[in-house]
A and B are shown apart, each in its own frame.
Chain A
Amino acid sequence: MKNSISTSFSRRSFLKTSVLAGGGMLIGFNLFQACKPEVVPPVDVSQLNFNDFNAFIKIADNGMVTIFSPNPEIGQGVKTSMPMLIAEELDVSWDNVHVVQGELDTKNFVRQVAGGSQSIRQGWEPLRQTGATARQMLINAAAAKWGVGASECSTKEGVITNAKGDTLGYGEVVKEAAVLEIPENIVLKDPKDFKIIGKDIPNIDIDKIITGKPLYGMDYKEEGMVVASVLRPPSFGEKLVDCNAIDIKGIEGVIDVIKFGDKVAVLAKDTWTAMKAKKALKATWTSDTKLESTEEHDKILKNLLDGKEFTTLRADGDVKKAFAEADQVIERIYESPFLPHNCMEPMNFFADVTKNKVRLVGPVQTPEGTARRVAELLERDIKDVSVEMTRMGGGFGRRLYGDFALEAAEISKIAQKPVKVVYSREDDMSAGIYRPAIKYKISASVKDGNVTGYHLKEASINSNMYGLIPNFFPAGAIENYQVDVAKYTSNITTGAWRAPYTNFLSFAEQSFFDELAELLEVDRIQLRLDLLQKVKGTTDERIQYSPERLEEVIKVAVDKSGWGKTKEGVYQGFSVYYCHNTHVAEVADVVLENDIPVVKKITCVVDCGIVVNPLGAKNQIEGGIIDGVGHAMYGDFSFKEGEPQDKNFNTYRLIRLNETPVVETHFIDSNLAPTGLGEPTLPPAGAAVANAIKAAKGIRLYKQPFIKNMNYKAPLG
């Protein structure tokens, strides 16, 4: 694991500078890679070319700093926290920093993806290095002006001071600084000297958000644009035969009705007209593949778990032997449904396809991949395609898939008009790329009171856990350990959903360990701590987590939650998990109201390294946990004959404020590089709640959502 904080950053020319025509200095840089030597930043800010650089810093001659932030904002706060890293090392007052979302083009950008909680982790070094290098150039320019050595100069909040006490503002030396040679091997600040990192910095866009300014793709509008509402096959596996396009074309306000693939787009002057006309569209459908139902999936996945068609992802020791020699073997099955993402802003995208270029605007987590797919679809040169990202009304994984942008591009090409595709909530929920339904079978062998073997089997729809997960806890802690996966290929589209796989796997494993402790009649916390002891000092480089860091979050959680010391009527459940480079422990407090379990509080202890922006970090943590509690309690989604059974919030239940626990967050003090927070607090929440419900009601939960499965009994092994 990378724990270094002051690695030197010596790649030559990772940034370039120029003097701006209007005054000031422009620094262009590429995150996470060196620039090509011939590239120079423009002298006119309106000509920013995100092909050459994917991020820019402008220092105006009045000292104001503008950061053109490269990463898309889906609500995880990187539009605030990433510029904080630059401003820290540049040594400017945060009040003088202005952040603009950079328009993105399709070449050379390495990580313009919001997903996997990686933005801050990957930006930590290069962003600080960029700020520090710019600061050194400004110092060098001032030193030359004064005729003194650069080492005699210091900076504070955008002002350079020399030994005699003379001062120059950054703005006064930008012209000279911009033409200096770019220094290398800049030493970064010691974390104890941080002035911005570690401070509560409010969301950059707060004023626009709370006053309702246009920010989101849904709000995007331009002259001549028409709105498209798209009719898609109602069931997965169906194909379009025909529709009454001609009747719809006659409706006032409808501009065109376009069939493309197995879909029909109704183009209208406004959203309501388009949505209403689409509803009036009558289509006939056919199918040449099976229309699948949840009932079948349940059988298929159970058969997979009982079968032999597995791929082994990790095998330590000899699980079979351990099980054969065991005093006792415990086996449990855990089941989860499909889940839709349900971003509050339904999917939408703008496209204007013309002879000269393809312009795409909207909320997407993967601009690069989306541009490439649009270029392929339209058989255009990638250079003709531009993607401008708007703020996103939630992502949760759904906006990694640019399917909506492809639809917009295809429709715009056929209609020869600028088009904004807008999904209704029903479209959004029923044309999803869902979290797949997954079942786990976990077996453990016990010999002389010790856990000697652990066998995790996954049966999933369409795809299996990614390669790092088998190296999470309890890998390394149990001598005989094996992870096997199997999948069934369905025509229902599935994909990443906040904390893919671990969002349910954590529930399964942390419920299993809880039950294991009960069966072994040992303390449930101690069981986990004892297992972690065995991982300490491991030489196995595949192991992803740190046993020391997991141990620390466990101990602090025991202390902060008042574990075992709650007043009567409060039942606690424990869970600890590592994923997305972050170590988290959670304790759920549950009470019974009219015999129904109510989650009152979650105490959460997080080790995410240095906390860049505590205010934003806590927001992510609270949201992740409540999201985890909500989906574990209520999230249910099924199919009948290929058709989603829920299409809107009248039947699909999301957690609401009056069902929300209070989240109490504690951070582990750390000098280690920061890790992401968009995902890792979600996975442990379900198990903490389930374990607390077990304590409260004596019911062990094996299946989500809990609300529907309170009396569910798993087969005992």
Chain B
Amino acid sequence: MPVYNLKINGTSYNIKAEQDTPLLWVLRDYLDMVGTKYGCGIGQCGACTVHVDGSATRSCLLQVSMVEDMEITTIEGLSKNTLHPVQEAWKEIDVPQCGYCQTGQIMSATAFLSQNKNPNKTEIRDAMSGNICRCASYNRIEKAVELAASKLS
């Protein structure tokens, strides 16, 4: 089985895996980073969102062989020791219900806000529409992204 060198949250890992293994399952099953969630496996729900070189990416569609030498950030590495302003906003607004999709939502929101510092409502709603929340905590997700934008600016 081939070995891949992955850079995740600033740490280098040598992973022995089949080349088609999705990054999602490398994170969850090989590295015990379970904050990245499995929801659909086909890039439709956003629960597995991570940052690859700063962009929000669905880790269920990324094969381990495709991400060598890229900077991968997961929810575990989003912020060291303290909460990221987006997480703080999520906490202030008390967004989650079941909570399962929320790490993916937060990863989408952080990548979006790093590229759009001053988004309007429509931009927020469109940017966050790749992430499904089955509990439909959408009103609060929208508010939390707005709050996070103001915290970051």
Spell out A's residues near B (CB within 8 Å).
Answer: 74-77, 200, 202-203, 205-207, 209-216, 218-219, 221, 227, 252, 270-273, 275-276, 342-346, 391-396, 424-426, 615-616, 619-620, 622-627, 630, 648-650, 654-660, 662-663
Contacts and interface: CB of A to CB of B under 8 A. Distances in A.
B137 A623 contact: yes
A658 B125 contact: yes
B116 interface: no
A344 B39 contact: yes
Interface string B28-44: 11101111111111101
18 contacts: A200-B94, A206-B94, A210-B83, A210-B87, A211-B87, A212-B74, A252-B18, A272-B22, A272-B25, A344-B101, A344-B135, A424-B41, A425-B39, A619-B97, A649-B45, A656-B130, A656-B131, A657-B138
B137 A649 contact: no
B88 to A, nearest CB: 9
B75 interface: yes
Given A211-B83, A630-B136, A393 B100 contact: yes
A299 to B, nearest CB: 32
B94 A615 contact: yes
B137 A425 contact: no
A221 to B, nearest CB: 7
A270 to B, nearest CB: 4
Interface of chain B, main secondary structure: loop
Contact of B100 (A210, A345, A626, A630): A345
A392 B98 contact: yes
B103 to A, nearest CB: 4
Contacts of A393: 37, 98-101
A219 B35 CA distance: 8
B98 A270 contact: no
Nearest to A654: B132
A75 B128 contact: no
Given A219-B28, A658-B126, 9 more contacts: A203-B96, A210-B96, A210-B103, A211-B75, A272-B22, A344-B132, A346-B39, A656-B130, A657-B131
Nearest to A613: B94
A270 B99 contact: no
A622 B98 contact: no
A649 B98 contact: no
Contacts of B20: 276
A394 B100 contact: yes
With most chain A CB atoms within 10 A of its CB, the pick from B25, B129, B135 is: B135
Contact of A270 (B30, B42, B129, B141): B30
B44 A648 contact: yes
Contacts of A215: 99
Given A210-B102, A272-B22, A622 B136 contact: yes
Nearest to B130: A656
Given A218-B37, A270-B30, A393-B98, A662 B139 contact: yes
A271 B103 CA distance: 20
A636 B19 CA distance: 37
B106 interface: yes
With most chain A CB atoms within 10 A of its CB, the pick from B30, B98, B140 is: B98
Contacts of A395: 98
A622 to B, nearest CB: 5
A425 B83 contact: no
Nearest to A629: B136
